[in-house]
Amino acid sequence: MSIASRTIPPAVAPPAALPPRPTALAGTTRVRRGRRRVRPGILLASVFLGWLAAAVLAPGLLAPADPYAVDPARSFEAPGASAWFGTDDSGADNYTRIVHGAATSLYIGVGATAIGVVGGTAIGLLAGLNGRLVEASVMRFLDVTLAIPEILLALVVIGIIGGGTENAILAIGAGSIAYYARITRAQTHLVRRSGFVEAARTLGLPAWRILVTHTVPNVVKPVLVLATIGIGSAIGAGASLSFLGLGTPPPAPEWGAMLSAGRNFISNAPWMITFPAAFLVATVLSITVIGRELRRRAEGRLA
């Protein structure tokens, strides 16, 4: 058989391209994934912090009674319809005192954190922007300060300046300055070596303008995110000082002072310490959860 007589098979057509996937499903998947990022713990913490904000801004709406009102005839009344969280040894309503005490506890936490952030940022910038001699001197001082526990340092400050709410805020804030100073110093070194700061220097911008417009904003932002976690720790430290009788003096409604008053009656009236302790723990946990979530999002580590 000749080559010309051979039949040439027809060319095989290429397979048809698969149709593109619809984009609507991808968008729906993204929406569902975005909804799944709201975890139950964050939702519960947000709800509790909403209640806490209402208790601070408008305590009369949640508890219209007088937190200082006493009724000896109702002493050690168990929780019930007339007193949701029971009464204390003087007949005061525990629920009313817990609601009105939220403002004092949050005032201590925010005030102490503000002192720590402002003082720590100033010292951290001083160490990070100056020469090695100044930085080494400041850091050695901070190392000695960090070797002392914050609550012990607060007790030392309280022993010098005396007790009270404002002095407790000052003592707790002074104990946290070294923590924020180390964070600020490390962040300052990181920002100084960044590309946008080098570009600003290349363009001939003065040092003060680079400091104000580039260095300080980028240094303070992560410190403020970490400060949200510090508020919860400061609230716990304030309650500890009040429990020891060195913070808010009685009969002011404050959770630590309520714990101190109820410890003597734990056997016959356990509700005097159960409810204040529960709200104190819930507040610290809620603020810590929200603070950690803000830190996660600030670092780009989304859930």
Tell me which residue of 111, 112, 180, 170 sits closest to 145, measured CA to CA. 180
Cα 145–254–116 angle (5° rounding)? 25
* Residue 46: partners with Cβ closer than 8 Å, 6 or more residues away: 286, 290
What sign does the dihedral 147-149-154-155 (CA atoms) show? negative
Whole-number Cα distances in Å, 153 to 49, 75, 76, 159: 29, 38, 37, 10
pLDDT in the model for residue 87 = 87
Q: What is the DSSP code string of 62-127?
A: H--S-TT---GGGTTPPSSSS-TT-B-TT--BHHHHHHHHHHHHHHHHHHHHHHHHHHHHHHHHHH
Tell me the pLDDT tens digit for each residue of 99-150: 998 999 899 999 999 999 999 999 988 888 877 888 888 888 888 888 888 8
With beta carbons less than 8 A apart as the criterion, state whether 170 and 161 touch.
yes
Going by pLDDT thresholds of 50, 70 and 90, the confidence category of residue 4 is very low
240 vs 175: CA distance, rounded Å:
14
With beta carbons less than 8 A apart as the criterion, state whether 125 and 142 touch.
no
Residue 68 lies in a domain: no
Most confident range (mean pLDDT) of 133-137, 189-193, 274-278, 296-300 is: 274-278
- Give percent helix, percent strand, percent coil of the chain, each to the nearest 5: 70, 0, 30
pLDDT in the model for residue 190 = 85
pLDDT in the model for residue 301 = 52
Residue 267 lies in a domain: yes
Residue with tokens 């056997």: 267
Structure tokens at 155: 């007790």
Residue 46 lies in a domain: no
Residue 49 lies in a domain: no
Q: Which domain holds residue 225?
A: 96-298
Number of domains in the chain: 1
SS3 93: strand
pLDDT in the model for residue 60 = 86
Tell me the pLDDT tens digit for each residue of 30-86: 544 545 566 788 889 899 999 999 999 988 888 888 888 888 888 888 888 888 888
130 vs 137: CA distance, rounded Å:
11
117 vs 119: CA distance, rounded Å:
6
pLDDT(9) > 80 = no
- CATH number of the domain encompassing residue 218: 1.10.3720.10
Tell me which residue of 102, 114, 223 sits closest to 173, measured CA to CA. 114
With beta carbons less than 8 A apart as the criterion, state whether 85 and 79 touch.
yes
Whole-number Cα distances in Å, 147 to 53, 141, 143, 162, 226: 35, 10, 6, 23, 20
Residue 303 lies in a domain: no
Half-sphere CA count of 291, side-chain side, radius 13 A: 18
Residue 191 lies in a domain: yes
pLDDT in the model for residue 24 = 47
SS3 137: helix
With beta carbons less than 8 A apart as the criterion, state whether 85 and 93 touch.
yes
Residue 81 lies in a domain: no
pLDDT in the model for residue 204 = 77
With beta carbons less than 8 A apart as the criterion, state whether 235 and 242 touch.
no
Q: Spell out where 138-218 has E strands.
A: none
